[in-house]
Amino acid sequence: MSKVNKSKNVTSIAIKLNSIFVRKLFSKFLWIDILTIFFLILYWCVDGEINFYGEFVLNAKRALNFLPIENATYIVVWGNGQTMVKEAGSFLYLVQRVSIAIAVIQVLSVLKEIIFGTMRIRRTLKPLDEIAQTASRLSNMTFDEEKFQNLEDAISKISPVISDEKIYTGDSELHGLEEAINNLLERMRDSYKQQARFVSDASHELRTPISVIQGYANMLDRWGKNDESVLNESIEAIKSESENMKNLVEQLLFLARGINGKTQINSKEFLLNDMMKEVLEESKMIDEKHIYRYHSSEQIIVHGDIGLLKQAARILIENAAKYTEENEVIMFKTGINEKGEPFFSIQDNGIGMDEKDIPHIFERFFRADTARVRKNGGTGLGLSIAKWIIDGHKGYFSVLSRKGIGTRITIFLPRS
């Protein structure tokens, strides 16, 4: 079918749809006008009776004389002999004027749809028409053996790890298919890079404690067996690095279980305030070097896994404590924002972060400050775990940090 015929078909469909719409619009306006006039007259009559009799009389006899309009009257005869005669001409004349004004506006609206409606519907149908034309071209395509062979050769020459390689056959009929395959390759390459980086970073993080343990073990083997100071130093170092390795492996396993769907989120309703008070008491008991405070203005009910949300809060608190000087305040806060979303935040007076680092803090093994030494005990996985937990709860983070001033991380949860 030629493009001219297809264009005529689209125009014909648009005209039919527009005529149906115009008929419905005219019918809708007509019924609105009739009902509006009816209820206006009814309200005027009832209001007049209540003002005259003090009430609306159900069994009274009524008559509304419309013609001539300037002498129109509304007559109500009650059984007790009281007769109401109310002049209706001015009211009906006002109704007439208002009805004419409304009718003019409605006629203009109908004319607008008659004149421009078809064009608007054609624009609306344009994407569908393009899809139909594309489907028609695809259905008429002839894939011979040579086309399939060219596509197969192009795919076989592509490396899944080289980022700048793309499939290109030079055949216009295969262009759409080439784009789809190239986009898929880009996503696969991005995934490969992330996995390679993760393996590399994990290997690097494990290599350091292993090297430390191996170094102290060799030192003990050579001369530390009989030197009590070397022996104690080596034991402390091996214990510390073993603990670091244990934490790292546990965090890696947590992320792996989460990605594979083996970590379940068991949601229930609970008070966010109670959870934060428990975390507050734990923090005071574990860490006596900082001042912990908690502020809340109301009781907040949330729906989530209290164990996992506690873990996310502890991760934020642990980070705040690591990079905050002793005797400084770490503030907890709970509340509800203007969208009705419950939240809890951890704010410290620590070293803060550069603004450019904030978008990366939830990446695995990322450290905002490379000068931080290992004695802080970080693995670079804590915030990744917190993000997985909050993503699983359909929540999100807000991070505000200034270098040398401090950091506030807020977790927003869905409304209960």
43-50 average pLDDT score: 83
Q: Is the pLDDT of residue 379 over 70?
A: no
The answer to which of 234-248, 294-308, 364-378 has the lowest mean pLDDT is 364-378
Q: Please give the Cα distance from 90 to 114 (Å, whole number).
A: 36
CA atoms 163, 167, 168, 174: torsion sign:
negative
Q: Is the pLDDT of residue 106 over 50?
A: yes
Share of the chain above pLDDT 90, in %: 20
pLDDT band at 376 (very low <50, low <70, confident <90, very high): low
What is the location of CATH 1.10.287.130 in the chain? Answer: 175-259
Task: For 141-169, write each residue's pLDDT tens digit.
Answer: 555 666 667 767 777 777 666 666 777 76
* Other CB atoms within 10 Å distance of the CB of residue 388: 18
Q: Is the pLDDT of residue 243 over 70?
A: yes
The answer to which of 3-17, 56-70, 118-132, 351-365 has the lowest mean pLDDT is 3-17
Q: Is the pLDDT of residue 398 over 60?
A: yes
pLDDT at 374: 39
What architecture is the 268-412 domain classified under in CATH?
2-Layer Sandwich (3.30)
pLDDT at 29: 85
Q: Please give the Cα distance from 91 to 369 (Å, whole number).
A: 81
Q: Is the pLDDT of residue 261 over 70?
A: no
Q: Is the pLDDT of residue 174 over 70?
A: no
pLDDT at 280: 92
Q: Is the pLDDT of residue 24 over 80?
A: yes
- 79-107: b (≥16 Cβ within 10 Å) or e: eeeeebebebeebbeebeeeeeeeeeebe
What is the location of CATH 3.30.565.10 in the chain? Answer: 268-412
336-355 average pLDDT score: 91
* Of the options 1.10.287.130, 3.40.140.10, 3.30.460.10, 3.90.79.10, the CATH number for the domain spanning 175-259: 1.10.287.130
pLDDT at 10: 67
175's CB contacts (< 8 A; 6+ apart) are none
What average pLDDT is seen over the chain?
A: 80
Q: Please give the Cα distance from 239 to 216 (Å, whole number).
A: 11
Task: For 180-198, write each residue's pLDDT tens digit.
Answer: 777 887 877 777 776 666 6
